[in-house]
Chain A
Amino acid sequence: MGTKNWPLWEIFVRSKNGLEHRHFGSLHAADAEMALENARDVYTRRNEGVSIWVVESKHITASNPEHNGELFEPAQDKVYRHPTFYDLPDEVKHM
Chain B
Amino acid sequence: MNNNLYKYILGIADNSLILGQRMGELTGHGPSLETDIACTNISLDLFGQVRSYYQYAAKIAGDGRTEDDIAMLRKEREYVNVLLVEQPNTDFAHTMARQFLFDVYHLLFLQELEKSKDLNLSAIAKKSIKEVSYHQRFSSDWIKRLGDGTEESHQKMQDAIDDLWTYTDELFHQTEADKAMVKEGIGVDVTKLKDNYYQIVNSVLEESTLSIPKSKYFQKGGKQGIHTEHLGYLLSDLQYMQRTYPNMEW
Q: Which residues of A contact B (CB under 8 A)?
A: 1, 6, 27-30, 33-34, 37-38, 41-42, 45
Inter-chain contacts of A34 with B (CB < 8 A): 34, 141, 145
What is the CA–CA distance of A38 and B31 in the complex, to the nearest angstrom?
13
Inter-chain contacts of A42 with B (CB < 8 A): 34, 37
Residue from the set B33, B34, B37 with the largest chain A CB neighbour count within 10 Å: B34
A7 → chain B, closest Cβ, in Å? 12
Q: List 24 A-B contacts (CB under 8 A).
A: A1-B150, A6-B32, A27-B34, A28-B32, A28-B33, A28-B34, A30-B145, A33-B141, A34-B34, A34-B141, A34-B145, A37-B38, A37-B137, A37-B138, A37-B141, A38-B37, A38-B38, A41-B34, A41-B37, A41-B38, A41-B41, A42-B34, A45-B37, A45-B41
A52 → chain B, closest Cβ, in Å? 13
A73 → chain B, closest Cβ, in Å? 41
What is the CA–CA distance of A6 and B32 in the complex, to the nearest angstrom?
10
Identify A38's interface contact among B34, B137, B145, CB under 8 A.
B34
B23 → chain A, closest Cβ, in Å? 13
B26 → chain A, closest Cβ, in Å? 14
Inter-chain contacts of B32 with A (CB < 8 A): 6, 28
Nearest opposing residue in chain A for B41, CB measure: A41
Inter-chain contacts of B138 with A (CB < 8 A): 37
A6 → chain B, closest Cβ, in Å? 7
